[in-house]
């Protein structure tokens, strides 16, 4: 190939007529058929890149997920390709949400992002039951909390951890010795005692709590309602959001 080979897809080649081809398609022929300007994507190169990302992350965690930002290019053919390669999709507007659903994405694999979501888009996301809705401001948290409450959607309390204690397990993890390598599945993050503050309250929280309240938690308290506990794995059945102590004197 010519000096431009480093910016062209791996399938780029020169035909017998001296034309550039991508994915086995003669670009001159494509231009004559469809007119110009013409944007051509190499589906093989896109799929290969997606697979390499997924394989790289799942080599560390078999449950890891890669999220495609639909803002990059949300044509139906590309979105269907992303879904077929088992990626999740990030959308940032009601229009992108519609396109992802239309392409066949199950709602639980859609991440609703965007830093200026209005009540209409939040309602659309909740109506579609998207897997994850990302808030980008305190105002949006309040808006989501109100709308979710009106819809009867249960929201969790999110805690930003500011302080944590050190125990024997933490030393193993810090040194990454044989015990840690055998017992801590990468990239899981583990923690025990901690202190922090509440950064969000869901609409169904019944306790007299408030945003900004200082909290502490003990990571060895078993949550018998957690999925791990119900499966008989009480060693990993700690679920902070269900049982954390909430004293005001924690600093």
What is the per-residue pLDDT across 94-138, written as a single tens digit (0 to 9) for each?
Answer: 999 999 999 999 998 998 888 788 999 999 999 998 888 887 777
pLDDT at 221 (0 to 100)? 53
Q: What is the mean pLDDT of residues 175-196?
A: 73
Most confidently predicted of 120-134, 179-193, 204-218, 225-239: 120-134
Cβ-Cβ contacts under 8 Å for 156 (sequence gap 6 or more): 202, 241
Does position 194 have pLDDT exceeding 50, yes or no? Answer: yes
Does position 223 have pLDDT exceeding 90, yes or no? Answer: no
Please say whether the dihedral angle defined by the alpha carbons of residues 49, 53, 56 and 62, taken in this order, is positive or negative.
negative
189 pLDDT tier (thresholds 50, 70, 90): low
Element housing 241 (H / E):
helix 240-243
The pair of structure tokens assigned to 82 is: 């992303």
Nearest to 157, CA basis, from 211, 208, 118? 211
Nearest to 213, CA basis, from 221, 204, 225, 205? 205
Q: Please name every residue paired with 110 in a beta bridge, in sequence order, or none if there are none.
A: 89
Omega within 30 of 0 (cis) for the link into 35: no
pLDDT at 159 (0 to 100)? 42
187 pLDDT tier (thresholds 50, 70, 90): low
| Gap between the Cα atoms of 128 and 120, Å rounded | 12
Strand-by-strand arrangement of the 158-164 sheet: 158-164, 194-200, 214-217
Element housing 80 (H / E):
helix 76-84
Nearest to 233, CA basis, from 175, 161, 178, 183? 183
| Secondary structure (3-state) at 26 | strand
Q: What Å distances lie between residue 113 and 45, 61, 69, CA to CA?
A: 27, 24, 10
Q: What is the pLDDT of residues 13-55, one digit of tens each?
A: 999 999 999 999 999 999 999 999 998 889 999 999 999 999 9
The pTM of this model reads: 0.59
226 pLDDT tier (thresholds 50, 70, 90): low
Buried b (16+ CB within 10 A) or exposed e, 118-157: eeebbbbbbebebbebebeeeebbebbbebbeeeebebeb
| Gap between the Cα atoms of 232 and 226, Å rounded | 10
Candidate from 28-32, 63-67, 103-107, 153-157 with smallest mean pLDDT = 153-157
Cβ-Cβ contacts under 8 Å for 82 (sequence gap 6 or more): 50, 68, 89, 103
Does position 177 have pLDDT exceeding 80, yes or no? Answer: yes
φ and ψ of 186, to 5 deg:
-70, 140
248 pLDDT tier (thresholds 50, 70, 90): very low
The pair of structure tokens assigned to 180 is: 């840690």
DSSP 72: G
pLDDT at 36 (0 to 100)? 94
Does position 240 have pLDDT exceeding 70, yes or no? Answer: no
Decide which of 207 and 113 is more confident: 113
């Amino acid at each position: 190939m010519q000096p431009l080979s480093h910016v062209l897809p791996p399938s780029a080649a020169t035909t017998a007529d001296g034309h550039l081809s991508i994915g086995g398609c003669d670009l001159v022929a494509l231009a004559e058929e469809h007119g110009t300007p013409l944007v051509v994507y190499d589906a093989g190169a896109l799929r290969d890149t997606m697979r390499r990302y997924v394989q790289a992350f799942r080599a560390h965690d078999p449950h890891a997920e890669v999220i495609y930002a639909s803002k990059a290019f949300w044509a139906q053919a590309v979105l269907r390709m992303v879904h077929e390669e088992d990626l999740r999709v990030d959308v940032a507007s009601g229009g992108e949400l519609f396109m992802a659903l239309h392409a066949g994405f199950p709602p639980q694999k859609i991440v609703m992002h965007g830093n200026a979501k209005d009540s209409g888009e939040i309602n659309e996301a909740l109506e579609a039951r998207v897997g994850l809705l990302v808030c980008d401001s305190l105002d949006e948290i309040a808006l989501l909390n109100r709308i979710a409450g009106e819809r009867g959607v249960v929201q969790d309390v999110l805690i930003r951890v500011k302080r944590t204690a050190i125990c024997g397990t933490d030393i193993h993890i810090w040194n990454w010795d044989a015990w840690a390598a055998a017992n801590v599945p990468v990239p899981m993050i583990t923690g025990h005692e901690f202190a922090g503050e509440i950064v969000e309250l869901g609409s169904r929280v019944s306790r007299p709590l408030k945003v900004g309240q200082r909290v502490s938690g003990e990571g060895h308290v078993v949550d018998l309602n957690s999925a791990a506990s119900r499966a008989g794995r009480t060693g990993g059945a700690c679920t902070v959001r269900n049982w954390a102590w909430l004293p005001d004197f924690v600093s």
